Amino acid sequence: MTQLPILYSFRRCPYAMRARMGLLVSACPVALREVILRDKPADMIAVSPKATVPVLLLADGQVIDESLAIMHWALEQNDPDNWLARDEDQSALITEADDEFKFHLDRYKYPNRYADVDPLEHRAAALVFLERMEKRIARSGQLFGAQSGLADHAIFPFIRQFANHDREWFDALPLRGLQKWLADHLSSSLFQMTMTKYPQWQSGDQEPVFGAEMPT
Ligand SMILES: N[C@@H](CCC(=O)N[C@@H](CS)C(=O)NCC(=O)O)C(=O)O
């Protein structure tokens, strides 16, 4: 039997969510090792000393330990929904989300982790990015046209975090397109399957196969 790649993942991590969605849509099953961040497995740190999730360990020993690189690895083998169309434009927007938006999201959500931070200033700064997304989504339904792609799936787990921090405030924003876009992605069968719960993996445990079944 061919050895499956191993994915170190954490269910609630938005980076791991995007990697799992990429693996699912491209029908690349993996052996899933669910990680608890305060108790990371030594096996994971041994292959990726930077010790962030997700980490994909291929059967030939190659290690891919950046979420976007995992998405690309999977989609380059099989991209049935054409997520990589306009890859360069999509990647540029993802970089903005990962850099600027995430910077403000962290300071809005966890102001106590930083010195001298006003969470509401960071919420306002993050909103500028959301307003730009709203314009795109209002035009065509998704970030790059009518079909969702790499950028939608890479970014929405972070918008989910932002929205959940103060749901009432988020729901009252005049960003109808973005709110519907988020709700649709959250209720998709792809995301539901991505959020399947697994027990923490301990060294020696037999891993569950993630991606054995496809979303409908
Ligand atoms: N650039 C990395 C970031 C991954 C990342 O920061 N993941 C967080 C969890 S959401 C993590 O593992 N943090 C390490 C820790 O909290 O110890 C990627 O895209 O994969």
Which residues, in sequence order, are CB contacts of 144 under 8 Å at separation 6+? 85, 86, 89, 90, 93, 136, 151, 152
The answer on 74 and 42 residing in a single domain is yes
Regions of the chain short of the pLDDT cut 70: 1-2
Using the mean position of ligand 1's atoms as its centre, give its distance from the Cα of residue 53 in Å.
5
The answer on 104 and 38 residing in a single domain is no
- Quote the pLDDT of residue 69: 98
- Quote the pLDDT of residue 132: 98
Report the distance separating Cα 66 and Cα 21, nearest Å.
14
Judge if the beta carbon of residue 166 lies within 6 A of ligand 1.
no
- Does residue 1 belong to any structural domain of this protein? no
The answer on 123 and 72 residing in a single domain is no
Judge if the beta carbon of residue 105 lies within 6 A of ligand 1.
no
Using the mean position of ligand 1's atoms as its centre, give its distance from the Cα of residue 77 in Å.
24
- Quote the pLDDT of residue 1: 54
Which residue's CA is the nearest one to ligand 1's atom 6?
52
- Quote the pLDDT of residue 60: 96
> Which of 39, 52, 67 for a ligand 1 pocket mutation test, highest count of atoms within 8 Å of Cβ?
52
- Does residue 216 belong to any structural domain of this protein? no
- Quote the pLDDT of residue 189: 97
54: preceding bond cis by omega (within 30 degrees): yes
Number of domains in the chain: 2
Report the distance separating Cα 157 and Cα 190, nearest Å.
13
Using the mean position of ligand 1's atoms as its centre, give its distance from the Cα of residue 52 in Å.
4
CATH number of the domain that residue 169 is part of: 1.20.1050.10
The answer on 124 and 41 residing in a single domain is no
